[in-house]
A and B are shown apart, each in its own frame.
Chain A
Amino acid sequence: MGDSAYSFSLTTFSPSGKLLQIEYALTAVAAGATSLGIKATNGVVVATEKKLPSILIDEDSVRKTSLLTPNIGVAYSGMGPDSRVLVKKARKIAQSYYRLYKETIPLSQLVRETATVMQESTQQGGVRPFGVSLLVAGYDDQGPQLYQVDPSGSYFAWKASAIGKNMVNAKTFLEKRYSEDMELEDAIHTALLTLKEGFEGQISGTNIEVGIIGADRVFRVLTPAEIQDYLEEVE
Chain B
Amino acid sequence: MGLMSYNGGGIIAMTGKNCVAIASDLRLGSQSTTLAVDFQKTFKIHDTLIVGLAGLVTDMQTLSQRFKFRHNLYRLREDRDMRVSAFANMVSSMLYEKRFGPYYCEPIIAGLEPDGTPFVMGMDLIGAQGQSEDFVVAGSNTESLFGVCESFYRNDMSPEELFETVAQCLLSGVDRDCLAGWGGIVHIITPEGTVSRTLKGRMD
| Docked-complex contact A100 and B77, CB < 8 angstroms | no
Which chain B positions have C-beta within 8 A of A109? Answer: 77-78
Which positions 59-103 of chain A face chain B at CB distance < 8 Å? 99-103
Which chain B positions have C-beta within 8 A of A102? Answer: 85-86, 89
Decide yes or no whether A106 CB sits under 8 A from chain B.
Answer: yes
Which chain B positions have C-beta within 8 A of A99? Answer: 93
- Please count the residue pairs between chain A and chain B whose beta carbons lie under 8 angstroms apart in the complex: 20
Question: Closest approach, in angstroms, between the C-beta of A96 and any C-beta of chain B?
Answer: 10
Count of B interface residues, CB-CB < 8 Å: 9
**Number of contact residues on A: which range applies?**
under 10
| Docked-complex contact B90 and A100, CB < 8 angstroms | yes
Question: Closest approach, in angstroms, between the C-beta of A198 and any C-beta of chain B?
Answer: 38
Decide yes or no whether B46 CB sits under 8 A from chain A.
Answer: no
Decide yes or no whether B83 CB sits under 8 A from chain A.
Answer: yes
Which chain A positions have C-beta within 8 A of B169? Answer: none
Q: Can you list 10 A-B pairs with a CB-CB distance of less than 8 A?
A: A99-B93, A100-B93, A101-B89, A101-B90, A102-B86, A103-B85, A103-B86, A106-B78, A109-B78, A112-B77
Closest 9 CB pairs of A and B: A101-B86, A102-B89, A103-B86, A100-B93, A101-B89, A100-B90, A101-B90, A102-B85, A102-B86
Listed in ascending order, the chain A residues whose CB lies under 8 Å from chain B are 99-103, 106, 109, 112
Listed in ascending order, the chain B residues whose CB lies under 8 Å from chain A are 77-78, 82-83, 85-86, 89-90, 93
Further pairs besides A101-B90, A103-B86: 16, Cβ < 8 Å: A99-B93, A100-B90, A100-B93, A101-B82, A101-B83, A101-B86, A101-B89, A102-B85, A102-B86, A102-B89, A103-B83, A103-B85, A106-B78, A109-B77, A109-B78, A112-B77
